[in-house]
């Protein structure tokens, strides 16, 4: 029998859909506080997502040095506690502390191709010497296949407190989204009534997703993980008004809709 063929298993080239958890601070306590707050507000937001821990933002930008460090073992445990599933680490060649942790039996070092143009690791970077790590790295590094368009989900009834709707594509709600209700979509969200609960668009990292509503009075709005709550009052020109919401870099932009 050929070594490449067996009835028991196969090794194939493939792609894995994964998010980057971009670490911007080495302060684990601050990360724990913010992750816990978001998880308690929207426990389904993370939904057992597979993530790669991206520590490139911690690197020293002025001289290419290794920069600040964070305990990857503690961070891995923290992410698991809020239903994220870490599968690897993305680091720069100068961040030897991350590479050494990977080589000592932690998560494998991965190469990432993200849309925001963050530098990617050198091909000469040290990697964990395990076959499993090589298989995962090859899968994650490949370009993902073209996404299959998902039909829009249409909800014709009002959503009451405690109700939640999830859509693989766009989500269109024709009734009120009450306080305590939650609408979540991998694409855009359209609410043709007051939006008073939580709206989370682009939940799998779709930076181009938008939220549209005819009356903005939300508890929380979020696009691709960037969110805003009622703790930060809305400007008068958009509060209780028809608006569209989109992402500009890492800032939520809210603009009045001109309906006439």
pLDDT confidence bin for 16, thresholds 50/70/90: low
**170-190: pLDDT as tens digits:** 999 999 999 999 999 999 999
Greatest alpha-carbon span in the chain? 73
Cβ count within 10 A of residue 11: 10
Whole-number average pLDDT of the chain: 80
Q: Who has greater pLDDT, 255 or 119?
A: 255
Q: How many CB atoms lie within 10 A of CB 175?
A: 15
Count of all residues that appear for the chain in the document: 260
- Cβ burial of 138 (10 Å; 0-12, 13-18, 19+) is middle
Q: Percent of the chain having pLDDT more than 70?
A: 75
pTM over 0.75: no
Q: Is the dihedral of CA 255, 244, 252, 174 positive or negative?
A: positive
Determine how many CB atoms are found less than 10 A away from the CB of residue 63.
8
Distances (CA, A) of 140 to 32, 37, 49: 27, 30, 14
Mean pLDDT of 140-168: 77
- Of the residues 93, 110, 141, which one is the last residue of a structural domain? 141
Tell me whether residue 1 is in a domain.
Answer: no
Query: Domain check: are 38 and 65 in the same one?
Result: yes
> Residue 117's pLDDT is what?
42
Q: Residue 174: which domain range? A: 153-256
For residues 128 and 209, membership in a common domain is answered with no
Question: Could you read off the pLDDT of 77-120 as tens digits, one per residue?
Answer: 999 998 888 989 999 988 999 999 988 888 898 876 654 444 43
**Cα(189)–Cα(194) distance, integer angstroms:** 13
How far apart are the C-alpha atoms of 229 and 91, rounded to whole Å? 32
CATH number for 210: 2.160.20.70
User: Does one domain contain both 51 and 99?
Assistant: yes
* 117 and 205 co-located in one domain: no
What is the mean pLDDT of the segment spanning 231-249?
90
Query: What is the domain count for the chain?
Result: 2
Distance, CA of 231 to CA of 224 (rounded, Å) = 20
Asked if 23 and 58 touch (Cβ cutoff 8 Å), the reply is yes
- Please report whether residue 163 resides in a domain: yes
User: How many CB atoms lie under 10 A from the CB of residue 200?
Assistant: 25
Q: Does residue 120 sit in the same domain as residue 205?
A: no
| Structure confidence by residue, pLDDT tens digits, 46-62 | 667 788 899 998 987 65
Co-location of 137 and 160 in the same domain: no
Sign of CA dihedral 100, 104, 106, 112: positive
Asked whether residue 106 is domain-assigned, the answer is: yes
Mean pLDDT, residues 10-16 taken together: 65
Distance spanning both ends of the chain, measured CA to CA: 71
Helix (H, G, I), strand (E, B) or coil at 146: coil
| Residue 125 and residue 65 share a domain | yes
Give the 3-state secondary structure percentages of the chain, helix then strand then coil, rounded to 5: 20, 25, 55
Is the domain of 134 the same as that of 179? Answer: no
**For the segment 127-153, what is each residue's pLDDT rounded down to a tens digit?**
344 444 443 344 344 444 555 678 899
Burial 205-233 (b: 16+ CB within 10 A, else e): bbbebbbbbbbbbbbbbbbbbebbeeeee
Give the CATH number, domain containing residue 58: 3.30.70.260
Q: How far apart are CA 160 and CA 201, in angstroms?
A: 19
Is 103 contained in some domain?
yes
Whether residues 196 and 96 share a domain: the answer is: no
User: Are residue 131 and residue 38 in the same domain, yes or no?
Assistant: yes
Q: Which residues pair with 144 in a beta bridge?
A: none
> What pLDDT does residue 12 have?
67
């Amino acid at each position: 029998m050929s070594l490449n063929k067996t009835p028991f298993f196969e090794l194939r080239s493939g792609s894995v859909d994964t998010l980057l958890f971009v670490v911007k601070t080495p302060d684990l306590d601050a990360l724990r506080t913010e992750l816990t707050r978001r998880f308690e507000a929207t426990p389904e937001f993370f939904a057992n997502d597979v993530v790669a821990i991206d520590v490139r933002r911690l690197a020293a930008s002025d001289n290419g040095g290794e920069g600040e460090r964070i305990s990857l073992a503690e961070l891995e445990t923290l992410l698991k506690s809020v239903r994220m599933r870490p599968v690897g680490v993305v680091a720069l060649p100068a961040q030897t502390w991350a590479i050494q942790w990977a080589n000592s039996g932690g998560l494998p070092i991965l190469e990432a191709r993200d849309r925001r143009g963050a530098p990617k690791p050198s091909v000469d970077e040290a990697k964990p010497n395990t076959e499993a790590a090589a298989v995962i790295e090859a899968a994650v590094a490949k370009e993902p296949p073209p996404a299959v368009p998902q039909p829009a989900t249409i909800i014709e009834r009002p959503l009451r407190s405690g109700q939640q709707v999830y859509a693989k594509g766009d989500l269109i709600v024709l009734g009120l989204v009450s306080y305590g209700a939650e609408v979540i979509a991998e694409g855009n969200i359209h609410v043709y009534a007051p939006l008073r609960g939580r709206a989370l668009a682009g939940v799998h990292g779709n930076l181009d997703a938008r939220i549209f509503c005819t009356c903005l009075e939300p508890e929380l709005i979020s696009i691709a993980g960037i969110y805003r709550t009622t703790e930060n009052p809305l400007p008068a020109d958009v509060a209780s008004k028809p608006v569209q919401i989109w992402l500009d870099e890492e800032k939520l932009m809210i603009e009045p809709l001109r309906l006439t």
